Structure 1
């Protein structure tokens, strides 16, 4: 009986991803009644928790910063597939979908996830300690990618409106891929120590000594289940998106709120994983997840939609409006000031969370 109770959590994390994929196959492309929407929401929440569990298993096996990279890339690849699918279905009305999704991911990760991680770690441990060299490099890459992909289209003159010409879009896509690949090489090979958690004395934690890492077989199993869970999260989020859209329209809210809600759902696994790392005083892991997700979202989404624009009809609007550009600039400035000391108090966490709240408020009341 005791053995069964101990195996229950593990069985639950195995069954829920499979159930999510089965439910996704049964509901894909159909109008869902209220009861089914409720069931989908419950399974969606379970898939998020299962994804976090399996991501932590893989991360424990491969170590940092590879563990953070696995979750960030896995979530982003599936998120990109969701964006391209919605753009293909939406026609002209989805012309700003890629821009809204990418910007929402940047604001959620760089302010929401960073803010709550710094706040939790500093309240629990006095101050949040991290490596400014690695975190600063990540923030600089995010800022460059965001500016090249989301700010420049507003000011270029080759095409009317906040759009890139074909040559400009190709340059932005290639630049995004090159910068992201260069960052991954820096994070995992040449300067890996910059992205490892630090002790209170500023020493790099090269390995966790509180538990033995899982076996290779267990890690591969968790990697496969992580993929299933993330497919379930994104696919089921798309399934409930019509209900979300109807609710947003009925409430008289701006259409961009739909993108914010979907982005929040998709980024839940990384958010929960970052919070758990912050509670364990592994703030660098939290920042790797947050900034790595923002970077992956831009670095993979922009090239994907650039390629998809070849066969998709309708314009591709990437340029941000003045309000969002101001929020992005403030995020970069505040993020830089947060990163430089290498440690943060609850004040820095609170500042980032206020910026995130401002973004949400302006999404509701533009």
Structure 2
């Protein structure tokens, strides 16, 4: 059961993060050899505040989610985290020189981190503690079918179109795929919250809004306001950190810098949902755990691709979405094992280990492409 009693720091951190982000953006970071220690200090403080703010935002999101009940609480957390990722990617797309592959690398990293890493940890740790866990095949199969359609349409199909260079869409194709992404994700949300709500509910969970009346309306408004403030602060701070990493990798002449920056963005924004999903699995709430984890991957593609597509069309900046052949193989592998893993309606430690092995392969190829 989630408590609405929060420490004072939970109310102080979001405004502090926003103030720090505003200060860094307004005054910048000193350049030059003589100010190297200042740059390192500011970057370290920024990263620490950023990580703390991520966890505080999770607390406020879960407090609101507790009041709303399931599955609305899970959707709230998913929307909040996806908003962060979309904002970071779009802001970095518009930062400095054209960076056509950043959105692709961030979305691909999100899918791999969720479907291989987060899901692998949830299945392994949950089954280790409870021996085996059950899930609802109807809801999980629906999530995987939408996820498969979205990933193939947005990350694989661009390599096989003829109107433009391989890996990119023409403007008409980009608009069409963006509309399909929004339509598929909206259909999933409708099925999860209205039409087939029972297929996504974990019957064993005590996470609901039944007792939410104990929370005062004032505290709920405070949670909502601080959630928004925290998200804005995270976006601004993460952009600063990501730009610093990107510039550092460029100075070191690292060829796969976009892949590393994309993985960093995905890891950072997925931290709240990853922790919530692992916590649910340990509480033997596997269906809720999968709703959080896989739902975040759906939201990332369903909302990020249309956002970056619109930014590309408006600004005229090139957008490359087609994956390389190696990444395509990894994507096909993780989607296929997910279908097999959840097909029986029961998971064990072995199921989770398979996902984790694929995740380790993803990390290896990220470091040694």
Q: Does 1:43 align with 2:49?
A: yes
Question: CA-to-partner distance for each residue in 1:88-147, whole Å, 9 max, x for gaps?
Answer: 11433x111111111111111111111111112111111122211111101111110010
Task: Report the Cα offset of residue 309 of structure 1.
Answer: 1.6
SS of 2:162's partner is: coil
Q: Does 1:311 align with 2:308?
A: no
SS of 2:97's partner is: helix
TM-score by length of 1: 0.91
**CA separation in 1, counterparts of 2:55 and 2:236?**
16
**CA separation in 2, counterparts of 1:108 and 1:218?**
34
**CA separation in 2, counterparts of 1:145 and 1:77?**
18
| 1:213–1:260 Cα change, 3 Å | farther
**CA separation in 2, counterparts of 1:329 and 1:61?**
38
The equivalent of 1:164 in structure 2 is 169
| 1:139–1:45 Cα change, 3 Å | same
* Equivalent pair of 2:4/2:215 in contact (CA under 8 Å): no
**CA separation in 2, counterparts of 1:123 and 1:307?**
44
SS of 1:267's partner is: helix
Question: CA-to-partner distance for each residue in 1:62-105, whole Å, 9 max, x for gaps?
Answer: 1111111111111112311221111111433x111111111111
TM-score by length of 2: 0.90
| 1:253–1:354 Cα change, 3 Å | farther
* Equivalent pair of 2:68/2:208 in contact (CA under 8 Å): no
Question: CA-to-partner distance for each residue in 1:41-70, whole Å, 9 max, x for gaps?
Answer: 211121111112112211211111111111
| 1:245–1:309 Cα change, 3 Å | closer
**CA separation in 1, counterparts of 2:130 and 2:291?**
19
The equivalent of 2:110 in structure 1 is 105
Q: For 1:95, which of 100, 110, 127 is the aligned residue?
A: 100
SS of 1:286's partner is: helix
The equivalent of 1:3 in structure 2 is none
The equivalent of 1:238 in structure 2 is 239
Q: Which runs of 5+ in 1 are unaligned?
A: 1-5
Task: Report the Cα offset of residue 206 of structure 1.
Answer: 8.1
What is the correspondence of 1:59-98 to structure 2 with a 5 Å cutoff? Answer: 59-92=65-98, 94-98=99-103
| 1:206–1:245 Cα change, 3 Å | closer
The equivalent of 1:122 in structure 2 is 127
**CA separation in 2, counterparts of 1:40 and 1:198?**
41
**CA separation in 2, counterparts of 1:206 and 1:226?**
20
Task: Report the Cα offset of residue 240 of structure 1.
Answer: 1.4
Question: CA-to-partner distance for each residue in 1:167-190, whole Å, 9 max, x for gaps?
Answer: 111110110011011000000011
**CA separation in 2, counterparts of 1:235 and 1:133?**
39
The equivalent of 2:339 in structure 1 is 336
Higher mean alpha-carbon deviation, 233-242 vs 354-363, is at 233-242
